[in-house]
Chains A and B, each alone.
Chain A
């Protein structure tokens, strides 16, 4: 294919952070920063006077201007108001009900305005698109967006429409774990059974995936909002607010403003603890004009987080258990999501996969990898028409029979050699090389499936249709 001048981007809109990735001129995938230099851009919007802020600038508004600051809207898109669980602790603009459509009432330009979740999403994505275009110095021709596995059809549709309203040509929506996997394996075609552990800010998502001949199939998944980076922040908030109470006698447990300040400070403390063994937490004028200065060491943090670690371990085990496999069969574990950087958590998950042959993959930044995969996928399809893309990713094509058992050949020592592993989508073609002894004039190819023998065949080496490399006789059956 001739190189194209078209520019595509990958977008990950997380519930709390988003990122934009591109393929660089030298073929690497990289995230680009917005005008404030952020590669992880808080998924927030704030309105102040006649200005509109996104990212950290919006996050900063949550304190002084909470009513006009909007957060955590990603998961609400495409839902009806009645489907949304009331979120009481939100220090930002509350969710309003516009005829069953969720939205927000804010003051902008001294006027009261209402925006639906979709409109807010469109505003947010527009800003991401602009950041990309500023960086690239040209218009973006298309984008692939990541979505969580649990998004419903109407959520997908609503996100697509919101992104299109933001001026993006949406090439495709792909699942977050698939995006992460394709970022890691890209053009490779090696067979891997992988588990992708995503610890974001609001949930943990564990996905068991089989990768066969460069194709990706999800075998099982667990999703739970019980753990995520936020839950660790909450522990630190409790810890430091009781320390503050001990020192000053002031109870901030029902002081929303103080809690918001502390919550934002402890996120930094938590991140620091991932790379240092101690971290500070300082908040100017936490309550009644009194500053707070605390510190915590990693061990202390690990002790108070033990229950959360246990839960993470439980969800990982549940995901692989649901698929009916043992941890020893897992070849690679991919760590994604910003909160997976917590060292003790990594250690606890490694303990599940203690078999020496299981590889832990975390070379790519865990909160960027999803957008990398989107950018890569976008680069593959940017030159296709929408009709072509739709045809290629439709159910007719994706729904495919998969082998339930491995198929292989018995070697001279009587051992079963897997040629096509289980969970391989069909049809498949595999070329494998077998050899024969120098004095051998014929060979016997015995094809088995799992424990079951299917075909026995021979090839007389003097025959006209001789085959030097034993081909998998099962190809014909498989197709």
Chain B
């Protein structure tokens, strides 16, 4: 069952594609446990500076 998205409200400026209201809160720096295949994929992307898309090719 997928969620329904709302319609664009009338108050929305139709010329804008998006509007930013803020940024992400400060992240916490934590240490990953270096186990599992997803971690290894993460390590591979980070080492080679790959994005998710490049990594999949």
Contacts and interface: CB of A to CB of B under 8 A. Distances in A.
B47 A391 contact: yes
B32 A400 contact: yes
B33 A437 contact: no
Question: Chain A interface: which size bin?
Answer: 35 or more
A173 to B, nearest CB: 10
Interface string B26-42: 11111111111111101
B27 A404 contact: yes
B35 A179 contact: yes
Interface in B9-57: 9, 12, 14, 16-40, 42-47, 51-52
A218 B38 contact: no
B33 A178 contact: yes
Interface in A447-479: 449-450, 452-460, 470, 473-474, 477-479
A398 B4 CA distance: 37
Interface in A403-462: 403-405, 407, 409-414, 417, 423, 425-427, 429, 433-437, 440, 442-446, 449-450, 452-460
A221 to B, nearest CB: 12
Interface stretch (A183-191, A236-244, A327-335): A183-191
B37 to A, nearest CB: 6
Contact of A450 (B20, B25, B33, B38): B25
B40 to A, nearest CB: 6
Q: Which of A181, A433, A457 has the most CB of B within 10 A?
A: A457
B5 A470 contact: yes
Contact of B8 (A174, A396, A442): A442
A187 B45 CA distance: 18
Question: Chain B interface: which size bin?
Answer: 35 or more
B36 A214 contact: yes
A429 B5 contact: no
Interface in A127-151: none
Nearest to A407: B24
A454 B20 contact: yes
A217 B4 contact: no
B5 A412 contact: yes
A454 B4 contact: no
B12 A444 contact: yes
A48 interface: no
B47 A392 contact: yes
Contacts of B27: 401-404, 426
A215 B42 contact: yes
B3 A402 contact: no
Nearest to A389: B34
Interface of B: 2-9, 12, 14, 16-40, 42-47, 51-52
29 contacts: A172-B34, A175-B33, A179-B35, A181-B33, A187-B37, A213-B38, A214-B38, A215-B32, A217-B31, A377-B35, A391-B47, A392-B40, A393-B34, A396-B46, A397-B32, A400-B42, A411-B4, A411-B6, A423-B30, A429-B52, A435-B5, A436-B4, A443-B7, A455-B18, A455-B20, A456-B20, A458-B17, A460-B8, A470-B5
Q: Which 6 A-B pairs have the closest CB atoms?
A: A214-B38, A457-B18, A401-B27, A178-B33, A393-B34, A412-B4
